[in-house]
A and B are shown apart, each in its own frame.
Chain A
């Protein structure tokens, strides 16, 4: 029965082109992550095995089409992601993995029960089943997508896991899960329309809460985690509005989120690997040592907040339009205010960490980083640079000429 709901979803709003696009995007990202990891080690053989398994599960989920099988495969991919974090060699990562696992289990249970109830009910189930379904769906997706107030697993994980592990989680696992939320929007619209204020509150809380918390962070990877939470608020708003422009905005923004997050974590990863220390607001002048990473970080940040001509704008303007449709100028300006906060924390990171004068001395590279001597201003690993530049050029090209893509999506 679950299968039929999601198939119906496909036929109603999210046409096969979207699934194909997401599949293609995930393949590109997985290849990019793999090439990056070949230049900057993310873990031993076990990491590679788990990453490959995660990739296969997500791609498999996309290929089998919407339905129970996809849900199960994506859930399995999330558990593999937990394993990737767990197998890292530091206790904080293991603690983060434990949190992630616990909350993932809660999420899977909530979504499983909620969607099953929805499937067995009529189009708009009667009280109190409808309330139970909505509560379970909100909690389940809230946990999976790290919406405020269910985001607790993400910041610690982002801070202590390897950059590409986090990138895989936020750019592939999370975005695939978001695709499922989009399917649900069409299959059971009452879940959103009858409780619109609740979803809107969640979206706004995520936007502003994520942005404010990001502004308070000193660790860059932790800040990026909060920026994901912030961004999820916009995506949720697009899904809530549910119109063509809202849905296409949310899906395009989800795609750009996936790419830009890989770029941002990739840039931070290069600097951390080469310098042998975590990147915080106390780091200075990294652009002098790692110019390409700095450029990629800046572009990634601008892409995340939807500054044209990068791809981020293509989804973002649709989301603003959805905001205008749904709440008029006041909602659009509220969204812009949240974006203003995002600009503040990104610009703060750019100018405190990357630009300006550098620290005179840096400590030696971490023993496990296998990085060359940092004092001699080491070059950035060539393959990592190639991957980041290629992805950035792709984001710029699609941002400058989106017509081909959006025309094909229809």
Chain B
């Protein structure tokens, strides 16, 4: 049903493309996606308590049935694709309204993208899983390269295609090996369990790593940032990177994991969250920063899945849903900023909270969520993950996750302050910067509101959605989560205590802020900041920002900087830290790590080596081919004759 609605939307876009205005096309796409979401929701009752709905549609290929199986895990991802996809499409109505060309193409690919993910997670046939896998890969290629006349966009699309399609052969090889051993493409077939070996697991894992930007196959995603922002949002939050997460989770259905597999996934998850966060620290481009943060956050999700426990899977899946919400919101806000100012370079931004107050509010909510501020879904997700790691005696994971949380807070603070606070740069002062249009605000506002809703009442998501998903993978549901994410089971008591400390720290911070603010006498806090404090979550998240004292207007260098709270006497105004300073500090501090953890340093020589080899082969053979084809052929024929003779 959901796929049917989406396909109908695609066909209508194609049929009415020449008649409809860009806005009407946007509405049409939104309605199709909303209908698909409704279709997914109608299937919710059928999959509660680990049940599944199966249906064989028709023979897709010779002996290859198109067979669907909807269980809890499928539903999580289908909900994400259609739900977050609908919000993003609503945002698109205004965002794409003034696009001069290619709007039909844009909406067709977006709908195909969503349909591809839904089909992927619904399919019980692994060959069709691969087909859907590649369909979403192609959609991302065409959408990242939407503005194909721009070299940067085209190059980004190229990297997406190369780096995700090639590892995808791992998935195909794994599927064919399974088929070769079992005679079936259906992952629901019990014979699959015995054939699911380490080799097949690793082949699938490689494919999943590339899709889900797991280190070291993550370097394509920052280059994909020249796409329209809704595409980035969809890529990062709902559809693309989550396909790999789905595959890793689904591998629990294919067979019992030995401990070593969990260790591999955990190691990859931890490395990914660390590398992503470290690279995010150095970014000065807002969307690139968010891209690296996606890498880091995917590390968290994979780590949760890698724990391989009831709580770990629950944490991973809840984190996955939460990430979809807050990352979607952040990208849409970044898009609104770029739409309004024409840039996403944080070195050229600042003070936008005064002119884009609603966007700033929504951004703050999502920023709080990604940092893990209590009252947001991000807090619950991180809390669950740390709890799961503690329960599994994975102290290293806990330490790394905690450290990365600190880095996350740093880079999100940098992004928030550089973009929305401080003084407005001179070049921006005369520009007609305005807040996002209504559909854009609604699209990102809904996602932001859900971040708060599922932070306040995570049980709304846990019981009906996450629990069936965990059960569908053969695990018992043992998580008792209440309001604000408070765990009512004894296992989570130590984490609850930790959370109490965090909240206490937040309160102390608020007091410090209040004291600093009263001393600053009006110049300390930009007037525009105040409207952005609309929600408690926003207040908590922006607290750190509020403690910062903007540099005095008397200093020209302060135009792009913000003062720092020095822990005592006010620092001289010249001590303002700019985005460049921050990036330079991170680069200086972590240079050896950046050198070691940048896999592009390996990929580039690899490509150059292949290209050189091709050139050498060509130089060797071209003269023969062009000048002496007959002679060369006769000699080679003689060689073949000799080879056959000696056989």
Please determine whether B149 and A344 come into contact, CB atoms closer than 8 angstroms: no
Contact check, A403 vs B58: say whether CB atoms are below 8 A apart. yes
Among A99, A195, A302, A355, the one with the most B-chain Cβ atoms within 10 Å of its Cβ is: A355
Q: Is the CB of B169 within 8 A of A308?
A: no
Residues of A within 8 Å of B611, CB to CB, are 215
Which of the residues B131, B155, B643 comes within 8 Å of A351, measured between beta carbons? B155
B185: min CB distance to chain A, Å: 10
Q: Does A48 contact B (CB under 8 A)?
A: no
B127 and A343 contact, CB distance less than 8 A: no
In the complex, the answer to whether A333 meets B173 with C-beta atoms within 8 Å is yes
Chain B residues with CB under 8 A of A198: 643-644, 647
Whether B618 pairs with A156 at a CB distance below 8 angstroms is: no
Q: Mark B465-490, 1 if CB is under 8 A from A, else 0.
A: 00000000000000000000000000
- A148 CB to closest chain B CB (Å) equals 9
Q: What's the A-B contact tally at a CB cutoff of 8 Å?
A: 164
Contact indicator A325/B180 (Cβ below 8 Å): yes
Q: Which A373-410 residues have C-beta < 8 A from chain B?
A: 401-403, 406-407, 409-410
Residues of chain B from 56 to 97 with CB closer than 8 A to chain A in the complex: 58-62, 64
Interface residues of B in 428-451 (CB under 8 A from A): none
Give the docked Cα–Cα distance between A153 and B632 (Å). Answer: 11
Is the beta-carbon distance between B135 and A351 smaller than 8 angstroms? Answer: no
Within 8 A of A (CB), among B19-78: 58-62, 64
A236 at the interface (CB under 8 A from B): no
Interface residue from B127, B151, B162, B634 paired with A317 (Cβ < 8 Å): B127
* Segment of A130-138, A169-177, A182-190 engaged in the interface with chain B: A130-138
Q: Is the CB of A308 within 8 A of B633?
A: no
Partner of B641, one of A135, A213, A248: A135
CA distance A333 to B173 in the complex (A): 7
Q: Which residues of A contact B158 (CB under 8 A)?
A: 347, 350-351
Please provide the chain B residues from 194 to 240 with a CB less than 8 Å away from any CB of chain A in the complex. Answer: 199, 203
B642, closest chain A residue (CB): A135
Contact A403 B62 (CB under 8 A): yes
A308 B135 Cβ-Cβ under 8 A:
yes
Whether the pair A343, B58 counts as a contact (CB closer than 8 A) is: no
Judged by DSSP, the binding face of A is helix
Q: Which of B60, B157, B607, B641 contacts A402 (CB 8 A)?
A: B60
- Is A329 close to B, CB under 8 A? yes
B413 close to chain A: CB less than 8 A: no
Which single member of A153, A217, A403 contacts B60 (CB below 8 Å)? A403
By a CB distance below 8 angstroms, the chain B residues around A110 are: 637
By a CB distance below 8 angstroms, the chain A residues around B145 are: 355
Does the CB pair B173–A324 fall under 8 Å? yes
Query: With A and B bound together, what is the CA distance between A263 and B613 in angstroms?
Result: 29
For the complex, give the distance between the alpha carbons of A13 and B583 in Å. 66
Q: Is A16 an interface residue (CB 8 A)?
A: no
26 contacts between A and B (CB under 8 A): A102-B629, A103-B630, A106-B633, A106-B634, A110-B637, A149-B636, A150-B637, A152-B633, A156-B625, A212-B614, A216-B614, A285-B149, A308-B131, A321-B180, A329-B177, A336-B173, A343-B165, A344-B607, A344-B610, A347-B158, A351-B154, A351-B158, A355-B157, A356-B154, A357-B151, A409-B62
Q: Which A residues lie at the B interface, using CB under 8 A?
A: 99, 102-103, 106, 110, 128, 131, 134-135, 138-139, 142-143, 149-153, 155-156, 195, 198, 209, 212-213, 215-217, 248, 285, 287-288, 302, 307-309, 313-314, 317, 320-321, 324-325, 328-329, 332-333, 336, 339-341, 343-344, 347, 350-351, 355-358, 401-403, 406-407, 409-410
